[in-house]
Amino acid sequence: MNDGLVKILDGNTFVVSDERGDIEASLTDPTGLFSFDTRFLSRWVLTLNGQRLNPLSVDDLQYFETRFFLVPGTGTVYIDAKLSVIRRRAVGNGFHEELTILNHDEKPVNLTIRAEAGSDFADLFEVKDALEKKGRYSTRVDDGKLLLGYVRDTFERATVVSASEPARVTRNGLSFRVQIEPHGEWTTDLDVAAVLPGLPGARGRPKYGRGSRRARPNMSESLEQWVEEAPRVECDWDSLRTTYRRSLVDLAALRFSPPVARGQSLPAAGLPWFMTMFGRDSIFTSLQALPFTPALAATTLRALGEWQGSRVDDFRDEDPGRILHEMRYGEMAAFEERPHSPYYGCADATPLYVVLLDEYERWTGDTKLVRELEFEARAALAWIDDYADLLGNGYIWYQRRNEETGLENQCWKDSWDSISYRDGRLPGFPRATCELQGYAYDAKVRGARLARIAWKDPELADRLESEAAALKRRFNRDFWVEDGGYFALALDTEGNQVDCLASNNGHLLWSGIVDKSKAASVASHLLGRRLFSGWGVRTLAEGEGRYNPIGYHVGTVWPFDNSFIAWGLRRYGFKDEAAQIAAGILDAAEFFDGRLPEAFGGYERILTKYPVQYPTACSPQAWSTGAPLLLLRTMLGLEPQGDHLVVDPALPQTLGHLEVLDIPGRWGRMDAFGRGRVQVESRRAHARRR
């Protein structure tokens, strides 16, 4: 790992340590053992005869398991090391560590081995914001185990540390005095359990024991089964095969089984800090992965449906029918110092919920789930009109009611400066960003289809369709920037256009809200000099006041964004343009060994020759992981039609042939095949762009 930190995880339990396997966290330092958004170990340091160890190598065995090879001493010369130390660690409800020490000498050796342990029980939010604790700590030794505890009112968290070999247990850790024979070895198991009383689904002992080598995910499927059941990809481009394999494995690691999902899993937002349900991220990733792993979508729909808002609560920005933004389980959420129990402040997840439900049914034919979630889907559709239209003019607007800890920008571009006029000014609130109107349109059109096929409510279907048509007319009139030939980023409260050119235009194509007559102009902007970098579409066009090629939402290229833009281009028949975007993003993936980052710089491709990664603490990130999957879909032109899967390939010529085999769906399993024909700018073909 490039930051020198080793991260392993299992659901929302994860360990971040240095390359020795040690943890020495300060309040602001993001290392430790975390579970349910609480740090259960902030200190875990191994010494031999009072000496720290030196790392030789780290083997990432699986996403939940790693092995550290160490030698004593802090110098840089290891040649004389007569001892080796191996720490094999598997995370799950805490972690299990097998500590083995090998004596390579011809003489016996006497050792004092010490594992220091301590915990600050920090909330993830406290680690980010450096806040102080309000509860009481306790430390005691009981029955050969070290018990670290934290209590605040009824809130209790505890860490239990124990060993399989006889140890001297003190309030600071465990120590062992041993003699190891010549060429002998000594080993012990160290167990660290995270205890969360009262929270169902949180068990009190580590999941793995000695010799457990196979993944036992918190979900019904193992990694091997997961990869085995996904479609196979065959092609003549090694990098694409690597990227596909990487995406599948990362998606497996990102699976998260919330306490209510009965062992089923949905995609969490990112590793390791965002291993929780996010409405927007879980929905977008489920959409990207639908042709490959449709079960993720089903769990996302069920779990988000169960957590759907049911009342008006200003602190949580909750309304009836609203789909959650983010769920957290830590102390600050528990005591309502943060609103994440859950927090509802996002304006796109609710219409996207209906979009996912419909797309899921189109692929799988699972009308049973559509009927099961009828109440939630109707409530989501009602939210668009009853709670989101803050100005009463038929658009989705957002403005937080929780002004202290709520989110200002409730769209995917959620940084403070993401929504601006050409001259760089920021509009006031509420704001109506353009892509939200596209999602609302799509939700109504798809909701109408669901009302006909599953809810037997043609009246609702008629009403939704006429509302959608009216919204489309209104939108194409109010958001269209005449002198630019594209759609404005947003409207302000005065009804004026927030007139920047931004990648959001691609999402509008995806939603279908764009008048056919305007689509060609939009497409030419997306692939034009100001937005397209050669790798992909920038979040904000070059030349805008706030454009910055390394600005989070004001100039970088987001693989997730691009995958939906490619889908949008296909929807309006721009196959070659979609292939160009797929080629650029998949080329970029090659530079990251198949793991696309959240975002990379918006520099011209011919300038930098390689994609410059945006610095971020979160990798892999779910919707970046999903991007290559959606691009495979757009390149092959996969589209369910009735009980059939239509294949209409438009592959970049850099790809000789591409096969995706055993695509699951209402047709059973089907294969798709295509040959590269589209001329694109890429590593192997440096054609000049317009």
Partner 1 sequence: MTDVVDEFFAELADRGREPLLERVTGSLRFELSDGGKTDRWFVEVEKGDVSVSRKSLAADCTLRAERKLFAGMVRGEVNAMAAVLRGALSVEGDLEHLLLFQRIFPGPPGARGPRRGRGRQKGRR
Which residues are at the interface with partner 1 (CB under 8 A)?
153-156, 197-201, 259-260, 262, 306-307, 310-316, 318-319, 329-330, 333-336, 341-342, 372, 375, 387-388, 390-395, 399, 401, 430, 470, 474, 477-478, 491, 493-496
Closest CA to 309 of 336, 343, 354: 343
The H-or-E segment that residue 177 falls in is strand 173-180
Residue with token string 């796109």: 348
Tell me the backbone φ, ψ of residue 585, rounded to 5 degrees. Answer: -70, -40
Residue with token string 């996010």: 278
Structure tokens at 373: 């979630």
Q: Determine contact, residues 100/187, Cβ cutoff 8 Å.
A: yes
Structure tokens at 679: 């001329």
Beta strand pairing status for 173-180 and 6-10?
Answer: unpaired
What single-letter amino acid sits at 277? M
**How far apart are alpha carbons 353 and 377 in whole angstroms?**
8
**How far apart are alpha carbons 77 and 51 in whole angstroms?**
15
Residue 250: left if φ>0, alpha if ψ -120 to 50, beta else—which one?
alpha
In angstroms, what CA-CA distances link 488 with 184, 502, 551, 562? 72, 8, 20, 18
Closest CA to 265 of 215, 308, 303, 208: 303
> What burial letters (b/e) apply to 227-246, b meaning 16+ CB within 10 Å?
eeebbebebebebbeebbeb
Closest CA to 640 of 672, 668, 666: 666
Work out the angle at residue 115's Cα, subtended by the Cα atoms of residues 126 and 72, and round it to the nearest 5 degrees. Answer: 115
In angstroms, what CA-CA distances link 534 with 354, 402, 414? 34, 41, 25
3-state secondary structure 399-412: CCCCCCCCCCCCCC
To the nearest 10°, the Cα dihedral for 568, 574, 580, 581? -10
Q: Determine contact, residues 498/489, Cβ cutoff 8 Å.
A: yes
Tell me the backbone φ, ψ of residue 606, rounded to 5 degrees. Answer: -70, -20
**How far apart are alpha carbons 585 and 582 in whole angstroms?**
5
Residue with token string 């969490």: 268
**How far apart are alpha carbons 273 and 617 in whole angstroms?**
8
Count of beta carbons in the 10 Å neighbourhood of residue 415: 13
Question: Which stretches within 530-664 are classed as H helix?
Answer: 559-571, 575-591, 605-608, 622-636
In angstroms, what CA-CA distances link 570 with 476, 493, 515, 581? 20, 33, 15, 11
Length of the chain measured in residues: 690
Count of beta carbons in the 10 Å neighbourhood of residue 681: 22
The percent of the chain in helix, strand and coil, each rounded to the nearest 5, is 30, 25, 45
Q: Which strands, in side-by-side order, build the sheet including 13-17?
A: 6-10, 13-17, 32-35, 38-41
Structure tokens at 321: 């029918």
Structure tokens at 650: 């438009």
Structure tokens at 153: 């009112």
Give the SS3 label for residue 643.
coil
